[in-house]
Amino acid sequence: MFEVAERIQNLPPYLFAEIDRLKAEVAKKGLDIIDLGVGDPDIPTPKEIIEVAKTAVEDSSNHQYPSYVGMFEFRESCANWYKTRFNVDIEPNDEVVSLIGSKEGIAHLPLAFVNPGDFVLVPAPGYPVYPVATMFAGGNSYIMPLEEKNSFLPDIDKIPEDILKKTKIMFINYPNNPTAATADEGFYKKIIELAKKYNFIIASDNAYSEIYYGDYKPMSFLEVDGAKDVGVEFHSLSKTFDMTGWRIGFALGNKDVVAGLGKVKTNIDSGIFQAIQVAGKYALDNSETLNKPIRKIFQERRDQMATALEKAGFEFKTPKATFYFWVKVPKGFTSAEFTKKMLEEKGIVVTPGNGFGAPGEGYFRISITNPRIKEAVERIKSAL
Ligand SMILES: *Cc1c(COP(=O)(O)O)cnc(C)c1O
């Protein structure tokens, strides 16, 4: 037997394993299951993107090792897209790095900037990659709880000064997974000021900027004055174009941060298959046309889900962005107890809030990435 390294032994238990076990048990009893647990869109990638990729796959000039930082043409499209979408100026040469999905970049960032003993500010509930990547780099996570009374924004005045002095990176993520909260310019201004004062990097995870509803349109952290002095933004084609399986994303902003991340990547991976970059470039260049129908589908599902949850008497805010609902667990239940009940009695899989970190206790997350939303909605209406 080979003993795994401490960094693996120290990983938090895989919370979804218990859900998977329960799911199998319930399925065995013959109950039909609708999975609203995973945040992976069921909608296929737009056909035009697939066609561009097919042609690019056949082109032998795409068959060799790609450039580590990404094809210039792809990085240029990332920069152009930030200009048209957010009016942010980005230099494609040294302010963009392509990523094998933004998860890859998020996971590698601490390796570039965190020394043992350094702190990383991590939101919870939140994407588990932030604390795990911090631990892998030998750093310590300082948990910033996201609480309803603060609109699920971290209360930065609560972070102790001795932690701030040892902080290298702050992770933030708006529109937020799992709470669906959004951030405005005032919040970004505050954290930029803090980052300048204590000399740390802001890593803004903007994976959901193109999944928005009604009149609301999310902003980029990089739109705010001074953002590029202190940080980068991670973006992903996964949610924007239903391309989760393709593994393509990018980081852009501060060039020292981009260079640091690039350095780690040069020593670990060899970039994204060029045919996928060609398809990604096409997607970004035609973003509005390709993203609009996707948004429309999620908007319909969001409206149906909001109506159903309201009818059933659940406590929640209708999301302005993301494909998640962050819902209060009814009185008398823990998150785990209630999600178990939903599964056993209604055949509906939802994610217990504490799976995203202890401050998520008391909530559950619904993901509307399932085509059977109408049936799910019927079952949820009778859940309480
Ligand atoms: C989906 C998601 C990502 C992006 O993942 P990819 O690796 O780009 O597919 C990043 N952050 C959050 C919070 C997410 O939910």
pLDDT at 35 (0 to 100): 94
Pairing type for strands 119-124 and 140-145 reads: parallel
- The model carries a pTM of 0.96
CA-proximal residue: ligand 1, atom 11 (nearest): 207
Question: 167 CA to middle of ligand 1, Å?
Answer: 23
Using most ligand atoms within 8 A of CB, pick from 152, 205, 210, 269 the residue to mutate for ligand 1.
205
CA of 187 to the centre of ligand 1 (A): 22
Which tokens in the block code for residue 360? 């998520």
Domains, the chain, with CATH or none: 6-44+291-383 (3.90.1150.10), 47-288 (3.40.640.10)
Q: Count of alpha carbons within 13 Å of 151, Cβ hemisphere only?
A: 9
Nearest residue CA, atom 3 of ligand 1? 207
Q: Which residues line ligand 1 (CB under 6 A)?
A: 39, 101-103, 127, 173, 177, 205, 207, 236, 238-239, 244, 249
Contact 235, 244 (CB under 8 A): no
CA-angle at 195, arms to 190 and 199, nearest 5°: 160
**Which residues lie across from 365 on neighbouring strands?**
326, 351
- Mutate which of 97, 99, 103, 221 for ligand 1 pocket (most atoms within 8 A of beta carbon): 103
Q: How far is the CA of 236 from the centre of ligand 1 (A)?
A: 7
Q: 375 C-alpha to center of ligand 1: Å?
A: 27
Q: What one-letter code names the amino acid at 261?
A: L
Q: Are 366 and 327 in contact (CB under 8 A)?
A: yes
Q: How far is the CA of 207 from the centre of ligand 1 (A)?
A: 6
Instruction: Tell which atom from ligand 1 comes closest to the C-alpha of 249.
Output: 8
Copy the structure tokens of residue 219: 């902003």
For residue 164, the CA-to-ligand 1 centroid distance in Å is 26
Bridge-based pairing of strands 201-205 and 231-236 is parallel
Q: What is the pLDDT of residue 67?
A: 85
Sequence letter at residue 200: F
Please identify, by atom number, the ligand 1 atom nearest to the C-alpha of residue 248: 8
Of the candidates 364, 357, 358, 323, which has an alpha carbon nearest to the alpha carbon of residue 177?
323
Give residue 332 CA to ligand 1 midpoint distance, Å: 33
Asked whether the beta carbons of 37 and 367 are under 8 A apart, the reply is yes
- Do 53 and 274 meet the contact criterion of CB atoms below 8 Å apart? no
| Ramachandran sector of residue 361 (left: φ over 0; alpha: ψ -120 to 50; beta: rest) | beta
What angle in degrees, to the nearest 10, is found between the helix axes of 102-113 and 129-136? 40
Q: Give the CA-trace dihedral at 171, 177, 182, 188, to 10 degrees.
A: 0
Dist. CA 111–CA 3, nearest whole Å: 23
HEC profile for 191-210? Answer: HHHHHHHHCCEEEEECCCCC
Q: How far is the CA of 175 from the centre of ligand 1 (A)?
A: 12
3-state secondary structure of 30: coil
Please report, in tens digits, the pLDDT of each residue of the chain (384 residues total). 899 999 999 898 776 778 888 899 998 988 999 999 988 999 999 999 999 999 999 999 999 999 878 899 999 999 999 999 999 999 999 999 999 999 999 999 999 999 999 999 999 999 999 999 999 999 999 999 999 999 999 999 999 999 999 999 999 999 999 999 999 999 999 999 999 999 999 999 999 999 999 999 999 999 999 999 999 999 999 999 999 999 999 999 999 999 999 999 999 999 999 999 999 999 999 999 999 999 999 999 999 999 999 999 999 999 999 999 999 999 999 999 999 999 999 999 999 999 999 999 999 999 999 999 989 988 987 877
Cα dihedral 16, 19, 23, 25 in deg (nearest 10): 120
Nearest ligand 1 atom, CA 102: 8
